[in-house]
Amino acid sequence: MLACFGLAGNRPYPATQRDAAPRCLPSVERDVPRTQNGLDALGKASFGARIVRPILGFAATAQPRLNLLRIEEDLSGAHLRLARVFIECKPYDQVIERFDKPGTLFYVDAPYWDCEKDYGEGLFSREDFGRLAGLLGAVKGKFILSLNDTPWVRETFADFRIEGIKTRYSVAATKKAEAAEVLITNFR
C-alpha cells in the first residue's frame, strides 16, 4: 500500500468525504462534486496546491491549464488515477497510525523548514518536525520524507538515512536556481 499525504499539523488538508469537507475548508459547500470541481480548478491554476493564499500562475504565451471544455475528461482521469487511493481528512499522526503496516510506504510531504506558515497560520509548527521524527521512528512500514537541506533538518532527522540532492524549482520560470534538498528514509 502507498499512503501519500501532505502534512498540515493538527489540522487536516481537504478531503472528498462529505462530512469532512466543512471541517477542512469551512467556506466550501457540502456538495462533494462541486467541492471537487473547485479544488481541481484551484489546483490547476495554483503552484504548490496552496489553498490558503494561493499563488496563481498565468502566462500570456501559453494555453491555460484549466480548460472548462475538458473538465469532465480531467475528472475522469483523476478518478482512474485515484481509484485505489485513500484520501483522509485527519491529522498526520492519525494517518500514520491508521495505515502503518509492514507493507506500507509513506511519502511524507511536509512544509519546508522555515516555511511552516506558507500553507496557513497554525497548521504546522516548528515543533511538529520533532513530533514527526518521533512518529516516523516507530513506523512498521517504510517512509520517504522530502525537505529542504538545512542543519536543523539534518539534526532533527539524524536517526534516519539522509541523502542530499540538488534540484531546480520551476515556479520562477525565468530563474531556475539550484536548490539543496534531502530525502530522508528509514530504508536503503
pLDDT digits 0-9 by tens, 13-43: 333 333 333 344 334 334 445 445 555 555 5
Query: Which pLDDT does position 20 carry in this prediction?
Result: 38
CA-CA distances (angstroms) from residue 63 to 31, 58, 126, 166, 172?
30, 9, 39, 30, 18
Q: Tell me, what amino acid is at 124?
A: F
With beta carbons less than 8 A apart as the criterion, state whether 5 and 91 touch: no
pLDDT at 156: 97
| SS3 call for 37 | helix
Q: Does the pLDDT at position 87 exceed 60?
A: yes
DSSP symbol at 181: E
The Cβ of residue 80 has, within 10 Å, a number of other Cβ atoms equal to 8
Q: Quick one: pLDDT at residue 27? A: 41
Which residues sit opposite 147 in a β-bridge?
Answer: 182
CB 56 within 8 A of CB 45: yes
Please state, rounded to an integer, the average pLDDT across all residues of the chain. Answer: 75
Residue among 14, 55, 54, 49 at smallest CA distance from 34: 14
Specify whether the CB–CB gap between 147 and 136 falls below 8 A. no
What confidence score (pLDDT) does residue 42 get?
52
Q: Residue 89's Cα: distance from chain center in Å?
A: 12
Strands 142-148 and 105-109, sheet pairing: parallel
Q: Give φ, ψ of 46 to 5 degrees.
A: -120, 160
Q: What is the C-alpha separation between 13 and 51, in angstroms, rounded?
A: 9
| 175 CB-near residues (< 8 Å, 6+ apart) | none
Residue matched to cell numbers 500500500: 1
Instruction: Round to whole Å and give the CA distance between 5 and 90.
Output: 10
- Residues of the chain with pLDDT > 70, as a percent, come to 64
Q: What per-residue confidence (pLDDT) applies to 187?
A: 95
Give me the pLDDT at residue 16, please. Answer: 38
